[in-house]
Homo-oligomer: A and B are copies of this chain.
């Protein structure tokens, strides 16, 4: 019998605020960071698993402390018992009554639980010798249903309904796996659109994105309306009508302000308006959506759990959603969200960027394409081209599409030298 022998947590921070890449209306100076967790075992081949929560700097120490607090619940567990019942493992962590009080199922503690669940999934995929997307895509519908915690969502999605969705997608699985391996999955890029870039830089990067094969770009908005109108206009003029342009306000507005601001952008055929207001405001998103129709509205990168996503769907509050691989309770909770999205017919445009988010979320989008929604042509994964060099199995985007990962695991493992140099506050990057 092999057991989990250690849980190690690391506070890893990248000084991205020094360049102001990644600045938006709410987050002017992020230092992209990871509270990174390693699970080790005494199983053959030194089987291990890696995961992380993503933060933007201050507070990454708190997130790391939350990982350390989980050690006593993890070390000593039977490896096979965990990996053969990842649904039970995830429910067990999320349901711990004392830790649950710190949320429930939200914020620092929930993200830490999600990171450890994702590390267990990384381990499971390594054991299976498959990339994570394919491990899920080749599970039976009943196995996938068993991964989901239906608590608090049974009024919107029952296990039977989930099973029916998965069974309906079963016939085309092999063909879709082939398509993914051949063509990859559509990506869109936020790289041209950071606030603070000059108009010239915006135009140059937007044209470059199209040359690189992207069919959708996203602009950050929300600081001044005149700037946003001008930037949307020049982007539309530079790109023509065939390229989709989304905007992202990163929660900048109240409900009335969002409505007024977005109406002023109505002429530019906006693909979607992302995070117009607080991620907690289900009814607010519904009100905004009604008022700015037909402009599509979305949110999700900060939506903290499946109960909130359920209500976004029930209230018809959004036209599409973002999911984030490191915000909710790991792969399991994202499967619940993807199944609800499929039931309600809402397309998913996964949130990525930061550090490692592209690496993780590509697996979820691809598993969704093969086993759940069966669709990828009406959706795309965000791509931002930075910090990928810190991962052993970095995301690969070619011709505007994510190539399907082929290495076993969840692509979550960082390079050893990254852990040494970017450790906070003792690493060489921070001691300077």
Asked if residues A255 and B155 are in contact (CB atoms below 8 Å), the reply is yes
Contact with A27, one of B97, B105, B251, B254 (Cβ below 8 angstroms): B97
Contact with A102, one of B29, B31, B55, B284 (Cβ below 8 angstroms): B55
Could you tell me the distance between the alpha carbons of A251 and B58 in the complex, rounded to whole angstroms? 32
Stretch of A209-217, A274-282, A355-363 contacting B (4+ beta carbons < 8 Å): A274-282
25 sampled A-B residue pairs with Cβ under 8 A: A27-B101, A29-B97, A55-B101, A56-B98, A58-B99, A59-B66, A59-B98, A59-B102, A61-B69, A62-B62, A62-B108, A66-B108, A104-B251, A104-B278, A104-B279, A107-B108, A107-B110, A107-B304, A152-B284, A280-B305, A280-B307, A280-B311, A281-B307, A282-B282, A284-B311
A101: chain B residues at CB < 8 Å are: 27, 30, 55-56, 59
A413 to chain B, nearest CB (A): 23
Contact with A254, one of B103, B106, B154, B254 (Cβ below 8 angstroms): B154
Could you tell me the dominant secondary structure of chain A's interface residues? loop
Asked if residues B63 and A281 are in contact (CB atoms below 8 Å), the reply is no
Residue of B nearest to A65 (CB): B65
The interface bits of chain A over 280-295 (1 if a CB of B lies within 8 angstroms of the residue's CB, else 0) are 1111100100000000
Residue of B nearest to A257 (CB): B154
Q: A55-B101, A155-B256 are in contact. List 13 more A-B contacts (CB 8 A).
A: A27-B98, A59-B98, A62-B102, A62-B108, A103-B107, A106-B280, A107-B107, A107-B109, A152-B254, A152-B284, A280-B308, A280-B311, A283-B314
A244 to chain B, nearest CB (A): 27
A238: CB under 8 A from chain B? Answer: no
Residue of B nearest to A278 (CB): B152
- Chain A residues 108-126 with CB under 8 Å of chain B are 108-112
Asked if residues B96 and A58 are in contact (CB atoms below 8 Å), the reply is yes
